[in-house]
């Protein structure tokens, strides 16, 4: 999955190592630091799975915190 905001992006992958599968991967907490360039911005999540794939991106419990 590609996550982007204000012309910055990062990519996350589903962990299928250690005996996990596409259907039963390892959920992990991820973090990413970015710099907002204005008063507002659009955060975008884009699946990188092939077209017509039976799987897709998994997103849960999103939090954005201002750096102090």
Q: Is residue 43 a contact partner of residue 35, using CB atoms and an 8 Å limit?
A: no
- Segment 9-17 shows an average pLDDT of 86
β-strand pairing of 2-5 with 44-46: antiparallel
57 pLDDT above the threshold of 90 = no
pLDDT reported for residue 9? 96
| Alpha-carbon distances, residue 67 vs 4, 10, 40, 52, 54 (angstroms) | 18, 18, 15, 39, 38
Model confidence at 37: pLDDT above 80: yes
Residue 42: the pLDDT is: 92
Q: Helical H runs in 10-68?
A: none
pTM: 0.76
């Amino acid at each position: 999955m590609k996550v982007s905001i204000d012309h910055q992006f990062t990519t996350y992958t589903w962990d299928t190592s250690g005996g996990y599968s596409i259907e039963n991967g390892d959920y992990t907490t991820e973090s990413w630091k970015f710099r907002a360039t204005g008063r507002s911005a659009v955060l975008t999540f884009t699946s990188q799975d092939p077209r017509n794939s039976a799987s897709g991106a998994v997103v849960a419990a999103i939090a954005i915190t201002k750096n102090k």
